[in-house]
Structure 1
Amino acid sequence: MADLFEQNRNYVLGDEELNLLGDREKLAQWRHKGVGPAFYKLGRKIIYRGADLNAWADAQRVDPSEGRT
């Protein structure tokens, strides 16, 4: 799959690109529930690595043709 996010870039809350996944509140819910992409918490700052975002997005891929016989 083509990368949705720049592999070597760090993304912080407020970066427009993160809206592709959901709004700030949705990302906070995922962090609280322990789901969603991997992240770093440095003090109060949340940081997502582009490589982690791409890996998570790729794992969410659904191929409707799989499972057909």
Structure 2
Amino acid sequence: MINFGNCVLGFFLFILGIVIVIYIIKTKKETGEDTYGSTIKLGVAATISILVGLDLFIKELLKLV
């Protein structure tokens, strides 16, 4: 049986990670500088969010097969 909560959470985390990556790219273009390494921290958070989101989402979708 598919767990709808995990499926939605995974999709939400995946979308959140993509939004963070777009935010990083947009602010990096505007300012051109990295203040106190915040870009690296946000990039790591976005990567982890995308990976965890995909993991949850794909696990639940594979239960349908």
Q: What TM-score do you get using the length of structure 1 for normalisation?
A: 0.28
Larger helix proportion, structure 1 or 2? 2
Which is higher, the Rg of structure 1 or of structure 2? 2
Q: What TM-score do you get using the length of structure 2 for normalisation?
A: 0.30
Larger strand proportion, structure 1 or 2? 1
Return the structure number with greater relative CO, CA threshold 8 A, min gap 6: 2
